[in-house]
Amino acid sequence: MLRALVADLAEAGVEVVTTRDERLASTDLPAHVENVGDTLQKDAVVEACLLESDAVWPIAPEAGGVLEALSEQFAHNGRLLLGSRPSALRVASSKLLTARRLSDLGVPVVPTFDPRQSIPPQYSRWVLKPDDGAGCVGTRIVDGADELAQAIADLDPAVECAVQPFVAGSAVSLSLLCREGRAALLACNRQRVAVVNDAFCLLGCVVNDAAVQGEYAAPLAAEIAAALPGLWGYVGVDLLLTHGGAQVLEVNPRLTLSYVGLSSSLGSNAAALVLGLLDGDWPEPDVATHAVPVTVNLEVPYAP
């Protein structure tokens, strides 16, 4: 995601500075890279980069409030925040709050329960996940009410979790451009998800896969943006296509894996579309009409 974003920004004529953990391999990013060691150094380096910048585009997980805290820091320092507002992050970073907000406004969602409250018994299989988790990290699939009850009893009291029924359907994500309660649909993506050791594992995605395009996508995008008007810039939405229609799993107010193939799929610079929001520009309604499928693969090739 970092490589794709920096490449797009550089192509758009933006001078980019970014931070990178010094333990990682060096890269040929078209940017000035500040290597970071321990946590104390990280805070100082981020602050120095912030003071030198006109705008900031955070790439961070929702877990532990990291994305929200960074976004608030950037906004309070008077820099242009190229991302969703803290008010929207506070809701979207919680699966429970997101499901409640969307459901109250009539948006179809996968039923989402607080494990500390009564959970209806009509489902035979469940997914237990961190309430503020990112992606598939920390997910656990359990069978039956007894196993679910034991899994809930074993939870760390300090960790907030959410419970959802295991719903049969196709895993799909939407790539949106959002601003002030509006949304432009950039892509419908097929998510390649496997179940490994009773947990979900993301293997990759196909950006703008024709198999998951549908009339459901644009109206759903509009409803989500209206429900969370603080969403801004690139936003991902995870959902399931079921026999009863599309159901939202979660809203990701940040870059997602699908961004990696988005510019290639659209044939235009996705970051430039986000930057255009600063000038009041809005993508054409048919921005994704001539998109082509692009595969993003997370699997490591087998080398015997």
Residue 146 lies in a domain: no
> Is residue 95 domain-shared with residue 235, that is, in the same domain?
yes
Domain end call among 24, 48, 83? 83
Residue 236 lies in a domain: yes
Query: Does the CA dihedral 246-247-251-252 come out positive or negative?
Result: negative
Which of 60-67's residues contact partners 24+ apart within 8 Å by CB, and which partners? 60/254, 61/134, 61/254, 62/89, 62/92, 62/93, 62/132, 62/133, 62/134, 62/252, 62/253, 62/254, 63/130, 63/132, 63/133, 63/134, 63/137, 64/132, 65/93, 65/132, 67/93, 67/253, 67/254
> Is residue 100 domain-shared with residue 77, that is, in the same domain?
no
Instruction: Name the band, by pLDDT with cuts 50, 70 and 90, for residue 26.
Output: confident
pLDDT of residue 145: 86
pLDDT of residue 207: 98
Residue 132 lies in a domain: no
212: domain CATH number is 3.30.470.20
> Is residue 221 domain-shared with residue 95, that is, in the same domain?
yes
Q: How many CB atoms lie within 10 A of CB 55?
A: 14
More confident call, 240 vs 47: 240
Range of the domain at 285: 89-108+169-297
Torsion of CA 129, 135, 141, 146, to 10 degrees: 10
> Is residue 94 domain-shared with residue 77, that is, in the same domain?
no
Residue 17 lies in a domain: yes
Q: For residue 19, is pLDDT > 80?
A: yes
β-bridge partners, 250:
238
CA 277 to chain centre: 19
pLDDT of residue 201: 87
pLDDT single digits (tens) 137-192? 778 899 988 888 888 888 888 788 999 999 999 999 999 999 999 999 999 999 99
Residue 264 contacts residue 294 (beta carbons within 8 Å): yes
pLDDT of residue 285: 81
> Is residue 248 domain-shared with residue 204, that is, in the same domain?
yes
Residue 289 lies in a domain: yes
pLDDT of residue 304: 58
pLDDT of residue 302: 57
Sheet holding 125-130, edge to edge: 140-143, 125-130, 161-165
The arithmetic mean of pLDDT across residues 71-79, rounded, is 80
Instruction: Name the band, by pLDDT with cuts 50, 70 and 90, for residue 61.
Output: confident
Let me know how many helices (H) and strands (E) the chain has, helices first: 9, 13
> Is residue 62 domain-shared with residue 196, that is, in the same domain?
no
pLDDT single digits (tens) 279-297? 999 998 888 888 999 999 9
pLDDT of residue 139: 83
> Is residue 176 domain-shared with residue 62, that is, in the same domain?
no
> Is residue 94 domain-shared with residue 68, that is, in the same domain?
no
Residue 271 lies in a domain: yes
Domain end call among 15, 50, 83? 83
Instruction: Name the band, by pLDDT with cuts 50, 70 and 90, for residue 268.
Output: very high
120/17 Cα distance (integer angstroms): 50
- Most confident among 24-33, 80-89, 143-152, 174-183 (mean pLDDT): 174-183
Q: Is the pTM of this model over 0.85?
A: yes
Mean pLDDT across the chain: 90
Residue 215 lies in a domain: yes
The domain tally of the chain equals 2
The arithmetic mean of pLDDT across residues 67-77, rounded, is 83
Torsion of CA 185, 187, 192, 193, to 10 degrees: -10
> Is residue 100 domain-shared with residue 225, that is, in the same domain?
yes
